[in-house]
Chains A and B, each alone.
Chain A
């Protein structure tokens, strides 16, 4: 069956274009390959972006599948053949998180953790490959002291979040529910997804637009590589009878082939790049290569949209070119670019952003509204940039030869230069806006804890209540190398004996036991001896102070540590009378930033080992000059009680979602900028390649190589400086609008400096890297025609 005439003719024209793309020997292939590499880099970024949802989902799914005790409704797990006891033994080692559980099976067939073939026996452990490597290395010496079990197996990928996951399951014959262990009969937890703060949603949308628009712009640039030569070929086609439409279709076919090759190459780049994840951590990005899989719908969209856009861009580019049989009529003086049709695009973007809903009340439609506003504003920069470059270089005159060569070239062909730097300008503008927005909303996601790291830098909390444990904590931590001071306390509660038990705490006051030295860190004590007790007010909590006033008057008989004050607890109170002469003292900010309010007692007044429901904690001051002091303390904590929680005090705490998104955005920004710089290099090399004959001729005339190198530098630097100026102005404006939507003022107008610096550095690097090919093409070989 033959195709209808017009259709077969069109296909023939497209086919001819494809033949042009692959024929022409090394020259033709080089051109096609450069286009393919450019498109491939763009496709790599797009596929990476399309993989983010899968990447996050798969990582979270494996994380949740191995969790124990999270998301349970508090139901009691009965002892069975599958059940087991567990204690969470996760801890930090230097800057890395090591996670895992101590396990004690109840029966012969305990549930298996994901990625584990057999539950380890007492004194044994199975570890992730990364942890095995760390433990076997000199760097893992201190960690080996902590997890001193015999390695008998490996946790496979199914039970890990990434190849760098430090994870373990160790066997125990001693853990029990009385000492902090819990019972479970399966692994996995359902965590209700935490709804994302609307402001963060806007930040993510802004980031997506900002990071992907430069990529799209670059793809559009890459498909125009070799445009001048292509137009000459098309002129030759016209000479043998092709009409204007046929030549356009041929050009489309040529662009299509290069782009399809680029899409294939992008796929190969993508497959290669994701393998990197197996070997290196890129700015904290962790996962398995297989997790980086694009969402099918998005992948299909990329595979379809990129080639179609390539054809559209080619046809759009040919719009301003008249290809006549005897040559291309673009060489004539080009028409000046008009601003009137370019300005409405950013203006529409600004109008959309000005009319957008406040970000804290934004819905899906509102998000589209904001995204469209940001998109149009940034695309507006791309449209205004060629006009700006042309208008600026038109006024330049004179100067030395390199300057003149550069300026004249820009005056004649500023479009190519503008396109080359458009990606950088959007990335910088978007980066500035994003940075301003992030810094502007930072205060909302940052909490000053009030912690005083000068008094204590480290906290430890036992996983089960024991008054006796407090003393051991004080003693053992105190004996640890590098520890200067330990504040150990046993924390419980007290209720007037006659008052009714209330699990909501309405009838109780806090009751803490500790040595005089420890209690002095919680309240202003003028004198203290073992056997003393104190009423502490001014806790910055009016309710707490009120309860103390009402419930704990001097001489009151108190029920301390009564289990009935807990949900499901049983009565085991310690009866104790508040001395009639008990002094009332003012609270003092504790090293962790909190204020205590309630009753403080020394061990001489009440024996803490009788308080079975109490919590035992320690706040530790260390000498940070001692190497690995924190890990020495963590090792002590593990020896005292494997399930003991330890943490560092921070004076500022950040919202976890915010922190994750912020670091994700910066990682993606850095990757995009790196890829844009790589793409610019390809673009620069392509431009030089097109002019290599002219370069050879100029060298034949005796032109110094440095003259040409300087001219290339000026030729790149001029549009870049203009692009960065536009990007800074646009970025600051966009950032101001975004912050306006969040009702936040601009806190730092100087944020553009580092990003503009990065942009300039990228361009300088690109220019430097393009010098070797420039020098090669300045060789007289270019004069050879045979």
Chain B
């Protein structure tokens, strides 16, 4: 059953990779503007949960509802369109296209949506400014630091004004100082945009930026019923 008022929810999700179960009856929900941290040890299934929620991977069983629509019944093209228009993503590694400059990377989701290059890059620069990395706009990812690169990635995830932001270990590759700064900028920007955030992390320090925590262990989720 979909929790009342939730923007995105999942019930009894099951997913296996070969004979290895990744999700075994996990449930989840997030409300508009809410930041939910999904915690758990390595291999617990939290990234798989995020991939299922984002429509990247189809679950073997269970239901996912986004804004009243059954996500599992959508075609691949429809899910892709949803990800382009209404979702944003931040990953730990390998997310920026190394050949494009930072501003081109941030503008990429807009351009994929058909926005003209100049307009897309103007909006991208505004996001870079918001994330305090406008000085690296013309540089390629290989020429900027890890913290700067991750902020560029956050800018990119927010440039389409998504309703849900999925962040998978967004600070995993950063030192604590840079990690804190990225989280601060990410949550501020998300709150300002009234975007819900699904934040996958195994660090309590990162999870502390969330409104609510869900723990995934052995493929099952457990809501901490804790609200900051």
Contact = CB atoms under 8 A, between A and B. Distances in A.
Interface string B50-88: 010010110000000000000000000100111111010
Given A694-B94, A702-B83, A785 B89 contact: no
A299 to B, nearest CB: 43
A398 interface: yes
B140 interface: yes
A405 B108 CA distance: 10
B82 A702 contact: yes
Interface stretch (B98-106, B126-134, B187-195, B214-222): B98-106
Contacts of B77: 704
Given A702-B82, A702-B83, A783 B56 contact: yes
Interface stretch (B26-34, B109-117, B177-185): B109-117
Interface in A737-786: 780-781, 783-786
B80 to A, nearest CB: 5
A401 interface: yes
B94 A702 contact: no
A653 B202 CA distance: 83
A703 B77 CA distance: 10
Contacts of A398: 117
Contacts of B108: 401, 701
A401 B97 contact: no
A692 to B, nearest CB: 10
B56 A404 contact: no
Interface stretch (A88-96, A377-385, A407-415): A407-415
Contacts of B54: 700
A702 B51 contact: no
B93 A693 contact: yes
A331 interface: yes
Contacts of B81: 702
Interface in A425-469: none
A701 B42 contact: no
Contacts of A783: 47, 51, 56, 91, 168
Nearest to B142: A331
Contact of B97 (A408, A702, A784, A786): A408
A295 to B, nearest CB: 47
Given A702-B85, A783-B47, A331 B143 contact: yes
Nearest to A407: B99
A697 B91 contact: yes
Interface string A27-39: 0000000000000
A585 interface: no
A112 to B, nearest CB: 66
Nearest to B80: A702
A780 B99 contact: no
B176 interface: no
B111 A701 contact: no
Contacts of A698: 97
B43 interface: yes
Contacts of A693: 93-94
Contacts of B87: 702
A413 B140 CA distance: 13
Given A704-B112, A783-B51, A404 B100 contact: yes
Contacts of B94: 693-694, 697
A781 B97 CA distance: 18
A232 to B, nearest CB: 12
Contact of A697 (B17, B80, B95, B111): B95
Contact of A408 (B48, B57, B82, B100): B100
A781 B87 CA distance: 19
Contacts of B97: 405, 408, 694, 698
Given A331-B140, A401-B111, A408-B104, 6 more contacts: A398-B117, A401-B108, A404-B111, A694-B97, A700-B89, A703-B84
Interface of B: 17, 42-43, 47-48, 51, 54, 56-57, 77, 80-85, 87, 89, 91-95, 97-100, 104, 108-109, 111-112, 117, 140-143, 168
